[in-house]
Structure 1
Amino acid sequence: MLSLLRRPLLFVPRSGRTMSGVSLRVSPGRCLYDEPLQLQVRGLSPGQDVSLRTALTDEAGELFTSVALYRADSGGELELSRSPALEGGSYTGVEPEGPLWSLEPQTPLRRLLKKDVRSPFQLRFSLHQAHCPPGALLAAAAQDRSFMGEGVTREPVREGRVRGSLFLPPGYGPFPAIIDLYGTGGGLMEHRASLLANHGFVTMALAYFSYEDLPDNLAGLHLDYFREALEFLKTHQKVNKERIGVIGLSKGADLAVSMATFLPGIKAVVSISGCNANSFTPLHCGEFVMPCLMFQGEKIKFTEAGELDISESMDDPSDPNNHESIIPAEKSPAAFLILSGLDDKNWPSATYMEQIVARLRDHQKNVEYQCYPGAGHLLEPPYFPLCKASHHKLSGMPMLWGGQTKAHAKAQEDAWKKIQNFFSRHLKGTDTIKSHI
């Protein structure tokens, strides 16, 4: 990005609301959402106790907040990259991005999403005297976190039956391309696709139900729809049609695997919290229909808070009765990256991962995998806060997703690096970022 966009954004409140000489510096002042956070405080008294408060208001007006408790060092300074947060706040220890991933909604069951990726989220930081209750305001700052970097453009896709959005990196290309699929919430999710475009991929966020004139439910999914999307992508002038991948989360993950299995021309697949079988609804594949893995209603549970827990209600893909619903991924020439969390409360994605990895390895296929302790179902790009449960549009009820805040945050950060490295190797022929877990 331009140096102007990386300039730290600093605001010191008016006299009377601030302690003289205290400064709060957040760097960069404008950045991409998946970039690390740097925050420094100067001008405190040695050993002074303060609280750092972070706030973000989403597009629907929902407020997300976090608070961390700190003690200034002997020089009266704090730096999140080396200063540990104390007990009693939203996180503890040395956590430079803790203010972001520990955000919690004021209203229960709200999930932080970005509907319009053309505008940034604004983070508001404030430093206060003492710990609890918060004392006088010492300093404040803000940071804009964008989803589309300089030169990245967005094009709506309405080609035949295909509906979605295309994110194009700056330059003439041709670039490697990725199709991005989400799950049973339906609609169009663009935040991951827009962030991937900043890393040099043409990325298509693809809707497949409950969007514009598409069907309003999952029933009657046809592989031909995804074939049309793939063919459209191959014909785009900025796309290298020999270097196309697909990424999916939840139901989108088993669709991604099905695309790579039955459609030609996909070189790399990332499955996040997915199943190794076709799930929830039959998939029409031209001359045959792949049956679906279902769940048993009597095994559905509810938490004390009334959240729907279907984690133990899904049929077992390894049961011989469900053999025809298993996706024969070994027929695909693509490379695979399978990611899951051990605290996934939507379904046992770690078990599904083991099954598909074993199947691929038995056939000497190229597969990488990672299962994260403490991670839930909704593994998003880094610094999105954990959503343990939220209202689910299709079911009309609150759904349990699982996850432990800090472990889930670390998993998302590592998974994002793995995803970028994987696609870079198999679609660009290069490595980009080192994984740290």
Structure 2
Amino acid sequence: MIEQKIRIEIHEESTLVTESFSLQIETGEANKFFRIAISTKDDRGRTFIASSDALADEHGTIKMQNDLMRLIESMKSKDGKERMFVKHSDAPVMFELELMDDDKVIAKATVTRTFLKDDIQKEVIEDKGLVGTVYYPHTYDPLPAIVVVGGSDGAHHESAAALLASKGYVVMALAYFGKAGLPKGIVNIPLEYVDHAFTYLKEKTIVDNERLAIIGHSRGSELALLYASSHSSLKAVVGVAPSAVQFSGIQNFQPVAKPAWTYNGDPLSYFAAKQTFSDMLSFFGHMIKRKPFSGLEAIERNLADKKQYEEHLIPVEKIDASVMLVAGTGDQVQPAVFFSELMEKKLQHHNKSKVRVVIQEGAGHFSAFPSHLPHLPQTLGDTNGAMTMLFGGTREANAEATINSWEETLTFLEESL
């Protein structure tokens, strides 16, 4: 085969990661199998890879679109361990493609997927008592404003905020712990901190102060829902992989007997899940045997007695805003479906009809916007030393859920704001 005959073409309407793209390869050889290999790096510099066979047609052409997206979503860490694909920054993702014939690389191409459109302005905030990044379109028209907060993984969702801004919103990716000038963990975080974020946004002339929303993932959903329950100025709130309960604080990724949140200087009550000797044996047993571990069973056991947690429920009945809750049935971190349905019943009981619950079959904890984004390698768990923590789902279910949740979020925001 003459290498010069090979041509790789990338077909895309947009470079944004939320849009799919296709691949066409002119191999010069008809009815022959080749191998397509793909690799990329996440924000932590870890390499993720995948490969699959592809058959050239009678014209020597290979065409891939849906298969290509599935290949990307199936990518795993090169070291063979279960790893979280971390993509929180707005820096582009570079996919390196290789066409192989009998283990020999015969052609290469690079595909760049972006989060930040050319017309989106970016503003980094590291003073005024705030740590965050604001994204907004270049326009003079008043736009809705949204604050996005992550969970206990410390995510600062710049990539998600940048994508939302491309849809006509002013969006702040807000950090509330784990950054310079902020608490080290989720301990005694004042709800007023979110007030500061909205005050900052409302001072911008392009922000419509009557159309405000907040989106939170996991522990960030607690913050979002608690804030919405005490601030009637919001028009919409989204809780992703949410909790209905105010859990205890977290320090160094471990629960501590301290409140996570405060309001008006007072600590908010919290539910402290009890860890039994059996729980500890299970954890260390999994570590010794190098088996993936999920703490879901222990949490569900703690929640079996309603009396233990009912006084620590988030007062969602006080929320005036429209509410959307997104949960996966395969979540191995917390019973997000149970929590979502519990809050839905509570809202409906108090005649709060503007609630939408999106249940994603088979999807895990990191499978919905903003915790994960479409057309990227999927996350089922993460390995730290000898221990692999399970987050849940399958790569196929999570991939479908990321696309669905992105579309559901856009629809909900458009209807609510």
- TM-score calculated relative to the size of structure 1: 0.83
Which one of the candidate residues 35, 57, 66 is aligned to 1:51? 35
Q: Relative to 1, partners in 2 of residues 1:391 and 1:164: Cα closer, same or farther, differing over 3 Å?
A: farther
Query: Quick one: distance in 2 between partners of 1:50 and 1:360?
Result: 55
Q: Which amino acid in 2 is paired with 1:124?
A: E
Which one of the candidate residues 139, 163, 173 is aligned to 2:141? 173
Identify the residue that residue 286 of structure 1 maps to in structure 2. Answer: 264
Which one of the candidate residues 254, 260, 275 is aligned to 1:297? 275
Q: Does 1:375 pair with 2:360?
A: no
1:21-420 correspondence runs (5 A) = 21-28=5-12, 31-81=15-65, 94-107=66-79, 108-114=81-87, 116-117=89-90, 119-129=91-101, 134-186=102-154, 188-281=156-249, 282=259, 283-286=261-264, 288-298=266-276, 299=279, 301-302=282-283, 303=286, 304-305=289-290, 307-314=292-299, 315-316=302-303, 319-365=306-352, 366-379=354-367, 380-390=372-382, 398-420=388-410
Q: Deviations over 1:127-157 (max 9, x none)?
A: 122xxxx533343221111121112121112
Shift of 1:268: 0.9
Supply the RMSD in Å over aligned alpha carbons.
2.4
Q: Relative to 1, partners in 2 of residues 1:254 and 1:353: Cα closer, same or farther, differing over 3 Å?
A: same
Shift of 1:45: 3.4
Is the 1:375–1:408 contact (alpha carbons within 8 Å) kept by the matching residues of 2? Answer: yes
Query: Quick one: distance in 1 between partners of 2:323 and 2:149?
Result: 16
Q: Deviations over 1:164-190 (max 9, x none)?
A: 111111212321111001001226331
Query: Quick one: distance in 1 between partners of 2:229 and 2:159?
Result: 26
Report the structure, 1 or 2, having the larger helix content: 2
Q: Which one has more relative contact order, counting CA pairs under 8 Å at least 6 apart?
A: 2
Is the 1:317–1:326 contact (alpha carbons within 8 Å) kept by the matching residues of 2? Answer: no
Local SS of the residue matching 1:378: coil
Query: Quick one: distance in 2 between partners of 1:270 and 1:321?
Result: 26
Identify the residue that residue 413 of structure 2 maps to in structure 1. Answer: 423
Q: Deviations over 1:190-212 (max 9, x none)?
A: 12111111111111011111111
Is the 1:185–1:392 contact (alpha carbons within 8 Å) kept by the matching residues of 2? Answer: no
Shift of 1:373: 1.8
- TM-score calculated relative to the size of structure 2: 0.87
Which blocks of at least 5 consecutive residues in structure 1 are unaligned?
A: 1-14, 82-93, 428-437
Q: Relative to 1, partners in 2 of residues 1:339 and 1:124: Cα closer, same or farther, differing over 3 Å?
A: same
Query: Quick one: distance in 2 between partners of 1:308 and 1:104?
Result: 19
Query: Quick one: distance in 2 between partners of 1:122 and 1:138?
Result: 20
Query: Quick one: distance in 2 between partners of 1:357 and 1:426?
Result: 17
Is the 1:29–1:142 contact (alpha carbons within 8 Å) kept by the matching residues of 2? Answer: no
Q: Relative to 1, partners in 2 of residues 1:187 and 1:339: Cα closer, same or farther, differing over 3 Å?
A: closer
Shift of 1:55: 0.9
Is the 1:344–1:402 contact (alpha carbons within 8 Å) kept by the matching residues of 2? Answer: yes
% identical equivalent positions = 25
Query: Quick one: distance in 2 between partners of 1:137 and 1:397?
Result: 36
Query: Quick one: distance in 2 between partners of 1:251 and 1:100?
Result: 28
Q: Deviations over 1:373-414 (max 9, x none)?
A: 221101212123222222579xx9753211201111011111
Aligned length in residues? 392
Query: Quick one: distance in 2 between partners of 1:112 and 1:189?
Result: 13
Which blocks of at least 5 consecutive residues in structure 2 are unaligned?
A: 250-258
Is the 2:123–2:133 contact (alpha carbons within 8 Å) kept by the matching residues of 1? Answer: yes
Query: Quick one: distance in 2 between partners of 1:318 and 1:170?
Result: 52
Query: Quick one: distance in 1 between partners of 2:129 and 2:349?
Result: 38
Q: Deviations over 1:210-246 (max 9, x none)?
A: 1111011111121121222222222222211111111
